[in-house]
Amino acid sequence: MRKRRTILFQIGVVVFVTFLLTMIATEYYLYNQNIDIYLTAKNEMIIRDMDSIKDYIGSEAVDEIIEYWCENPEKSKGEVDADSFDYLYNSGFFELYAEKDESVTRAKIAEFFENADDDFKEVIARDQRLTFGDAIGTAVYGRGYADVYCLRPINDSQAMVISDDEWSKNDLDTSTETDAENESETSVEGFYNKKYDFGQIIDFDSDDDSGLSNLLKNKNEKAYFEKNIDSENDTAYYLGYYPVYDNDKLLYILCIEYDWSDVYSTFVGKTTKNLIRNTILGLVFSSCLILICLFFLTVKPLKKVKETMDLYMLNKSSNDVEDNLSTLKSKNEIGDLAYHFRKLTKEMDRYTEENISLASDKAKIKTELDLAASIQKQSLTNVFPQSDKYEIFASMTPAKEVGGDFYDIFDIDEDHLGLVIGDVSGKGVPASLLMMSSMSALKSFAVPGLKPSEILSKVNESLVQRDVMNMFVTIWMGILDKKTGVLITSNAGHEYPAVNLNGTYELYHDKHGLVTGAMSGVRYKDHEIQLKKGDTVFVYTDGVPEATNKDNELFGTDRMIDALNNNPGTAPSEILESVKTAVDEFVGDAEQFDDLTMLCITYHGNED
């Protein structure tokens, strides 16, 4: 058996799935928004730090000194000893910084450096490199960067590294608590896991990185950042490029590596917690809201519809349904259901009224048909004339309440007995009415001295003149001379009679005339049968040979003759009963389509 789902369950599942997907999409959007906001702020901070580094060293690390670093990296390394420091001080080098104008200071440093001898240039380059390194070290130490260094392009594929190789993370070991707290921030390794030495030549081609290449071509942009996130390991890294120019000449590119894995993990953790928390809270809230909404929008209206249905089943009143559901204003499928149920009950009431009326009419018709059947039955001879010269019996079983078959047995005069069996075309009341009319005409025209053929001709003309809706009547008529046993017969389109003249029944093939009521001026032929003692004549309507079983097989005249010959010497009533039994057994449960009428006479008059 198929498991049923309630509408509440189905809607709840749909809403829950929709809510869950919405929550996930929202949290993912907020997660990315938060990351973007964080990175935007971090970008601005990094740019400010790079500006600070550039401003700190820009007035001192002039292009000539940078060129000297590139050409003499080994001479530029190392500390400035006391003699060299005194030499710088006494030479007036430090007095160059008295100018407030940075461009003037840069120009003076360049001129001072250019005019210095080789030993003095080495001292100045070393001093400036240490100042440069202090700025880098301060950035790494103070901001928690993984690494800060500079790249000085030498050619299209190489660059020299400008870094503070004298500064190391071990220098952060101090006795202050603040330094100890910052150690965790500054003890990270760079994303690329490289620590370049000052003066190191590395492969460098900006065209390999489209972002960096665009940055160098578009000098309006200050910095370019490469973001890398490894979601499997909850790690996130940043590499920032900041070009420094002297007019249009590229002096160097500041590079900052930044590890923000902790921040990224925090984002992921918070997002997961928020998603779980908000999902649970949202589920509880939405479930309560769904239940409330469904109760008022679905369950309550459906309950009202069900109660109204039960009420209608109880009293069958569409007015009660209208009163109960007219106040239901749901503008959805439930409202449509209520509207159509109201409409249905009105139609059912109308249909019920029509059925009651039809049942009443049908009852009246049945009563009238029963009355007509009773009248028809009474019109047929039920008490058969008995005589020592003959024995006679007949029966009629209609297919409907009334039928079109008939038979009649009447005395024409003292010595002659009239025998009639007929079949009106059609069924039901019209056929029964024509049957009554035909019987009346036959009796009225059956006067002494007329032969059966003459009587049938008169009946035919009477029916033709009445023009009874193209209906016709088949009639077999016989007049028996009670004294001589001579039976004069005439056949107007009726079935062949069966006669037993020598101990067995066989069909008597008399010449058929045209059915009565078909056309005027028809003449019929008489046939004479001499009956002797014990001879029997059996006549019937087509309802006997045309009786049909469930396989649409006809009973036929052969089976009828066989049934007659089972007990050929029995009384007429028993002969009719034997044939009726044989027909019923053959037909079985199949419906009777035609009237079943039979008449049988056995002659006992002569001793020949």
Beta strands in 205-309 (DSSP E): 224-230, 235-246, 249-259
The reported pLDDT for the residue numbered 190 is 41
Which range is least confidently modeled, 2-16, 277-291, 421-435, 506-520?
Answer: 2-16
Which range is least confidently modeled, 371-375, 426-430, 454-458, 505-509?
Answer: 371-375
Side chain identity, residue 560: M
Give the pLDDT band of residue 171 (cuts 50, 70, 90): very low
- For Cα atoms 365, 368, 371, give the angle at the middle one, nearest 5 degrees: 150
Question: Is pLDDT at 1 greater than 50 in this prediction?
Answer: no
Question: Is pLDDT at 192 greater than 60 in this prediction?
Answer: no
Q: How far apart are CA 167 and CA 164, in angstroms?
A: 5
- For Cα atoms 345, 349, 354, give the angle at the middle one, nearest 5 degrees: 145
The reported pLDDT for the residue numbered 377 is 63
% of the chain beyond a pLDDT of 70: 81
The reported pLDDT for the residue numbered 90 is 77
Question: Is pLDDT at 256 greater than 80 in this prediction?
Answer: yes
Q: State residue 526 phi and psi, 5-degree precision.
A: -95, 150
- Mean pLDDT score across all residues of the chain: 79
Q: Alpha-carbon torsion 116, 119, 124, 125, what sign?
A: positive
Q: Annotate 89-109 with b (16+ C-beta within 10 A) or e (fewer).
A: eeeebeebeeeeeeeebbebb
Helices (H), 316-418: 318-325, 333-379
Q: How far apart are CA 247 and CA 6, in angstroms?
A: 77
The reported pLDDT for the residue numbered 177 is 39
Number of H helices, E strands in the chain: 15, 17
pLDDT digits (tens, 9 = 90+) for 66-124: 888 888 888 877 777 787 778 777 787 777 777 666 667 767 777 788 788 888 888 88
The reported pLDDT for the residue numbered 103 is 67
Sequence-distant (≥ 6) Cβ neighbours of residue 63 within 8 angstroms: 110, 246, 249, 251
**Shortest CA distance to 317 belongs to which of 357, 340, 345?**
345
According to DSSP, the β-strands at 201-203 and 224-230 are: unpaired
Side chain identity, residue 332: N
Question: Is pLDDT at 387 greater than 80 in this prediction?
Answer: yes
Sequence-distant (≥ 6) Cβ neighbours of residue 116 within 8 angstroms: 124
Q: Tokens 């707290």 — which residue?
A: 181
pLDDT digits (tens, 9 = 90+) for 299-358: 777 777 777 777 767 776 777 776 777 666 666 666 667 776 777 777 777 777 777 888
Q: How far apart are CA 125 and CA 133, in angstroms?
A: 12
The reported pLDDT for the residue numbered 104 is 72
The reported pLDDT for the residue numbered 393 is 94
Q: Report the 10 Å Cβ neighbour count for 469.
A: 9
Question: Is pLDDT at 497 greater than 90 in this prediction?
Answer: yes
**Shortest CA distance to 478 belongs to which of 388, 395, 410, 542?**
410
The mean per-residue pLDDT over the stretch 538-550 comes to 93
**Shortest CA distance to 411 belongs to which of 387, 376, 375?**
387
Two structure tokens written together for 113: 């450096």
Beta-bridge partners for 375: none
The reported pLDDT for the residue numbered 176 is 38
- For Cα atoms 405, 407, 413, give the angle at the middle one, nearest 5 degrees: 155
Q: Report the 10 Å Cβ neighbour count for 510.
A: 18
Q: How far apart are CA 122 and CA 116, in angstroms?
A: 9
Q: How far apart are CA 261 and CA 451, in angstroms?
A: 130
pLDDT digits (tens, 9 = 90+) for 447-478: 999 999 999 999 999 988 877 667 899 999 99
Give the pLDDT band of residue 553 (cuts 50, 70, 90): very high
% of the chain beyond a pLDDT of 90: 24
DSSP 325-352: HTT----SHHHHHHHHHHHHHHHHHHHH
Question: Is pLDDT at 45 greater than 90 in this prediction?
Answer: no
Q: Are 128 and 65 in contact (CB under 8 A)?
A: yes
Q: Are 489 and 421 in contact (CB under 8 A)?
A: no
Three-state SS at 52: helix
The mean per-residue pLDDT over the stretch 500-505 comes to 92
Give the pLDDT band of residue 376 (cuts 50, 70, 90): low
The mean per-residue pLDDT over the stretch 376-392 comes to 79
The mean per-residue pLDDT over the stretch 272-298 comes to 73
Q: Are 192 and 149 in contact (CB under 8 A)?
A: no
The reported pLDDT for the residue numbered 453 is 95
Question: Is pLDDT at 41 greater than 50 in this prediction?
Answer: yes
C-alpha pair distances (Å), 20 with each of 28, 438, 515 = 12, 89, 89
The reported pLDDT for the residue numbered 365 is 67
- pTM exceeds 0.85, yes or no: no
Question: Is pLDDT at 581 greater than 90 in this prediction?
Answer: yes
Helices (H), 420-451: 428-445
